Structure 1
Amino acid sequence: MLPVSINMAFQTSGFPVCKFIACFLLALLAAADGRDKGFRRFSPVEDTKQKAVAQEQWFTQKLDHFNGADSREWKQRYFVNEAFYRPGGPVFLMIGGEGPANPAWMQSGTWLTYAEKLGALCLMLEHRFYGASHPTDDLSTANLRFLSSRQALADLAHFRTVTAAARGLTNRKWVAFGGSYPGSLAAWFRLKYPHLVHASVSTSAPVHATVNFPEYLEVVWRSLASENAECPLLVKEASDTLLQRLNDPTTYGNITKDFNLCSKLQIQTEMDAAYFLETLAGSFMDVVQYNEDNRGFEGVTGTNITIKVLCGVMADASLGEPYARYAAVARLMMDTFSVKCLDASYSTYLRDMTNTSWVGPAAGGGRQWVYQTCTEFGFYQSTDSPNQPFTGFPLEYHVKQCADFYNISAEQLAEAVAQTNEYYGAYDIRSSRIVFPNGSIDPWHALGITQDIAPALPAVFIKGTAHCANMYPARSEDLPQLALAREHIFSLLHQWLKQ
C-alpha cells in the first residue's frame, strides 16, 4: 500500500512524472505525478483490450453517504469477470485504491486462481477520486472533503447492496480482496459491514495509522542488509556526503551533472534540500517495497531492478566513492524508466500538487493520496530514526506539505490520525474471517498484522517476500513459503465459505 511524500520525480517531455509508494492494484501502480505519501508505485497502464474482456461498467453512486439531504450522484467505474462463476458460487470483490483500477487484475492474479476453484463471480470497484471515477468537477480542497476511507467503504456497501439485488446475488457469500491501502479497506469493510461481506483477504495492509513512520526506512535498512551487510552502510555514507555538499553552493553544478538534473540545483529552503534527498532515496524505497514481486503482467516496467541490483551498484568500487555509486543508481533508474532527466525542484512539485484540474499533472493520484494522508493516515516515512540509511527529510518536511497543499495544520493532522485509529481499531481489530498476509521484506508490514489476533483473524507472515507478493500470479521461481502461503489462504477461504 501503505504509504509518503513524493519520490522519484522524473521529467519526460515537459511534464513531471513522479513515483510514489503503493502496492497492487490499488491503483495498481498507477501513475500520478505527485503522490507518494503512502504507497510507492510506478506508471499506469490502460489496456483497451483488457477493458473489453473485463467488461468495464459504470455504477450510479452517492456523493455523500453521510448526508441524507445531499442527493447528488456520480458514475463509478467497475469491472466484471464472469468466466469462473458457477450458480451458487461466491462473489469476489477486489477493492481499488489510490490510482486507476487496472483491468489486468481481471485477467491474472492469485484471486482468479481461487475464483476458478470456487466458482466465484469477480468484480473490481475503482476507488472514488482515482482513475476514471470522478465524483466532482475538480480536485479542489473543498471537493476533496468527499474523499475518505469512510466514504469509500460506504461506496463498497452501496455497490454490494445494489449489485446483489440486481444480479440475484443477495444470498451469495461475498469476499473482499485488497492489497496495501485497499488491503486495509478489505479488513475494514468486513469490520464495519459484517452483514454485507462474509470474509476478507487483507494483504500488506497498514491498519495502524501514524503521523510519523520512520520504521519504514528501518525495514529498508534491514532489507538491504539481507542482501549485503555493507549495502546500507554505503548508502548512508553516500547520503551523508550529499547532504554535506548541499551546504556548499559551489558544489551545485557538479551535483546537477552527477544526478542528471533537469535544471541547475537550487537549494533556497529546507524543503528544497529535503525534496531532493527524498527523491533520491525513493529509488531504494521503491525497489525494496516491490523487490522481486511478479508485477510484469500489469505492464509495469523496472521489475528487473531488485535489491540485489542496487546493492551491486553500491558495492562497485570501480565507480568511485559511495557518493558516485549513489549517483549511478539514480542514472540507472532514469535509464530504466526512459526519462531524460531528474526534476528535483520542490517548487515544481508544489505547483503540480496544487493544480486542481482533473487533467493536472498530479491528478493521476498524487494530489488525492497526499490529501488522504493529511486527513486520515499520516504514514510519513521520515529520516527521524538513526537506524536507517538516509538523511535530510524529517517529519517536519512531510507535515509542511499538508499546509502547503491543503492548508491543514500539524494539529489537525495529528487529530485526524488519532480519529482513524479510534474508528477502525488499528492493530486491535475485533472481527472474524479476515486473513492478513504480509511480507518480511515489505516495509509496510511494520504497520500491519503479522501475528494471529484470534483463530478467525489469522496472520500469514511470508519471509523473504515484499509488498503484496501473494496477490501476484504464481511462477516457478516463487519461494516455497510464498506458494505455501497462497495455499493456506485458499484453505482458509474454502473453510470460511462453508460457515
Structure 2
Amino acid sequence: MTTVLNGTGRLNTPRLGVVDRTRVKNHGGLIETIADIKPSSSSDDLQTFFYTQTLDHFNYRPESYTTFQQRYVINCKYWGGANSSAPIFVYLGEESNLDFDLGGVGFFNDNAARFKALIVYIEHRYYGQSVPYGSRKEAFQNASTLGYFSSSQALADYAEVIIDLKKNLSAEASPVIVVGGSYGGMLASWFRLKYPHVAFGALASSAPILYFDHITPEDGYYSIVTKDFRDYLDSTYSSAAQYNSPPNYPVSMICKAMDETPKETDILSRAFAGLVGYRGNSSCYDTNIYNYPSETLVGWSWQTCSEMVMPIGHGSNNTMFQAAPFNLSGFIKSCKRKYGVSPRPHWITTQFGGYDIKRILKRFGSNIIFSNGLKDPYSSGGVLESLSPSLIAIHTKNGMSYIYSTFLLVKS
C-alpha cells in the first residue's frame, strides 16, 4: 500500500501478498489485476463449486445466520481416491481473487502427483466471488457490513468447507494439509493450531506471524528492503567490472551516466542514473502502479484497520528510507476517520499467540513447515529456526518468498 507520511510517522502497512500483479483494466475506478505467473494446470482439470457459507460463525443473532456463496475449486487429476485415504492439499486463499493462484502453486505442481493428492483452493471471504451481501458495494458499505471480515471468520469458513467436502467425498480418512503464503501462510499456521482435528499439517510460506505487538523490531521489513537493494547494486557493479569488455564496456557506461547527471544531483539519484545507463532506459516509470485502488488494496485496508495491525516503520540509521517510525496513535486516528472504528493492535497475539513463540508452538503446535526466502522483507517476522522435529523451518539465503518459489524447496 502507499506510504502516508504526515510528519508523525508511518501509518499504512505493506500488503502481504507477494505475487506481482499487473494492472490490466479499469472498471468504474476499481482496477482489475492479474498474476504475472502463468498457471501450469489446465482449466480442464479445475472444477468450480460454491458452498453456502454462514456469515457469522461466533454469534447467535438473527443476522448471524445470513449466508453467502463461497467459491472453492477442485483439481481431481492426481487424486488416488477416498478408498486409498489419499491426501487432500488445501490452499487457503489470501487477500486477493482466487483466480490469481489457481494452478500456480509450486508445491502442488511438484507434489500432488507424487502423493496422489486432491487439490482444493478456497477463496477468502470478501474477495473475488466470495462476497457477502450480494455485491462488493454492499459488503464494503460500512463497518457494520465489514465487521464479519476477519481472520477468525475466514478460518471457520475453511473448516466448514473442508469438513463438508470430505463428507461429500466419503473421504473422512484422507489427511488434509493446508497450504498458504504470506497472509495465507499465517492462516495456514493458525488453522493448524485452531483446527488440528481438521488439518493434519500445514505449510506456511512467508508467514510473518511474529510481526505483531513489536515482537519483531518495526524496522525489520525495511532493513531487508535496504539490504536487497544494496545487494542488487553490489552485484550490478561487480558484474559490470567482471565483464567490462568490448563492445559495450559496462563500467564506462555506468560512469558516463553518473557523470552526465547535473552537479546538484544527490548520491542516490546518481546511483540510479548509473544503473539505468547499464541496464537500459525507459521512457516512463509508473511509480504509482501499486497505488491504484483494487479489491486487494481496499480489502487489506480494512483488515489492517481492524486486527492485522503490524507495526512496520523505519528509523533514520539502519535503512535507506526517510525516518518514519510506526505511529500507532496516528494509525488509529486514520482508521477511525476511514471506517469509524478503532483497530485492535493486540488481538492477533491474544487469539493466536506470538510472545515466546517457541514455547507456544512446542506446547500446542505440530506438523507445521515454515518456509521463507531471506530476501523477502516479511521474512523478518517469520519463524526461521526449527522448533521441534515436527515444527520445521526452511529458508534460503537468496530466496524470494511465497509458494510459487519457496514451496519448491520442500521436496529437497
Report if aligned partners of 1:23, 1:467 keep a CA contact under 8 Å in 2: no
| Residue 376, structure 1, aligned to residue 310, structure 2 | no
Distance 1:156 1:336 in 2: 47
C-alpha distance 179-77 of structure 1, shift in aligned 2 (>3 A): same
Aligned to 1:389: 320
Query: In structure 2, the residue corresponding to 1:377 is in which secondary structure?
Result: coil
Which letter maps to 1:79? Answer: V
Aligned to 1:472: 404
Report if aligned partners of 1:313, 1:325 keep a CA contact under 8 Å in 2: no
Aligned to 1:221: 226
Considering only aligned residues, what root-mean-square deviation do their CA atoms show, in Å?
3.8
Report if aligned partners of 2:313, 2:324 keep a CA contact under 8 Å in 1: yes
C-alpha distance 30-218 of structure 1, shift in aligned 2 (>3 A): same
Query: In structure 2, the residue corresponding to 1:205 is in which secondary structure?
Result: coil
Moved more, 222-231 or 87-96: 222-231
Identical-residue share of aligned pairs (%): 24
Distance 1:432 1:150 in 2: 20
C-alpha distance 208-59 of structure 1, shift in aligned 2 (>3 A): same
Report if aligned partners of 1:100, 1:131 keep a CA contact under 8 Å in 2: yes
Cα offset for 1:138?
Answer: 2.6
Cα offset for 1:206?
Answer: 0.9
Distance 2:224 2:165 in 1: 41
Q: 1:424 aligned to 352, 356, 362, which one?
A: 352
Report if aligned partners of 1:79, 1:106 keep a CA contact under 8 Å in 2: no
Aligned to 1:182: 184
Aligned to 1:112: 109
Cα offset for 1:398?
Answer: 4.8
| Residue 441, structure 1, aligned to residue 375, structure 2 | yes
- Deviations along 1:92-148, one digit per CA (max 9) or x if unpaired, are 000110111135532652222111100000000010011121013330222111011
Cα offset for 1:181?
Answer: 0.5
Report if aligned partners of 2:213, 2:349 keep a CA contact under 8 Å in 1: no
Distance 1:336 1:102 in 2: 33
TM-score normalised according to structure 1 size: 0.62
Report if aligned partners of 2:257, 2:274 keep a CA contact under 8 Å in 1: no
Aligned to 1:487: 411
Distance 1:389 1:460 in 2: 28
Distance 2:371 2:109 in 1: 17
Report if aligned partners of 2:307, 2:345 keep a CA contact under 8 Å in 1: yes
Report if aligned partners of 1:79, 1:103 keep a CA contact under 8 Å in 2: no
Which letter maps to 2:396? Answer: I
Aligned to 2:47: 55
Cα offset for 1:441?
Answer: 0.9
Count matched residues. 352
Contiguous gaps of at least 5 residues in structure 1: 9-18, 34-41, 232-311, 350-360, 475-481, 489-499
C-alpha distance 316-192 of structure 1, shift in aligned 2 (>3 A): farther
Cα offset for 1:363?
Answer: 5.0
In the TM superposition, 1:251-330 aligns within 5 A as 317-318=258-259, 320=261, 321=265, 322=267, 324-325=269-270
Aligned to 1:402: 335
Aligned to 2:33: 43
C-alpha distance 31-392 of structure 1, shift in aligned 2 (>3 A): farther
Q: When you count helix as a share of all residues, which structure comes out higher?
A: 1
Q: 2:97 aligned to 72, 97, 100, which one?
A: 100
Distance 2:350 2:204 in 1: 19
Cα offset for 1:196?
Answer: 0.5
Which letter maps to 2:65? Answer: S
C-alpha distance 132-315 of structure 1, shift in aligned 2 (>3 A): farther
Contiguous gaps of at least 5 residues in structure 2: 5-12, 26-31, 237-252
Distance 2:333 2:254 in 1: 34
Aligned to 2:159: 157
Aligned to 1:126: 123
Distance 1:217 1:91 in 2: 37
Report if aligned partners of 1:219, 1:441 keep a CA contact under 8 Å in 2: yes
Distance 2:168 2:80 in 1: 17
- Deviations along 1:64-100, one digit per CA (max 9) or x if unpaired, are 0111342110001111111111122100000110111
Report if aligned partners of 1:96, 1:127 keep a CA contact under 8 Å in 2: yes
Distance 2:281 2:149 in 1: 34
Cα offset for 1:190?
Answer: 0.6
| Residue 193, structure 1, aligned to residue 195, structure 2 | yes
Distance 2:125 2:283 in 1: 31
Query: In structure 1, the residue corresponding to 2:50 is in which secondary structure?
Result: strand
Q: Which has the larger Rg?
A: 2
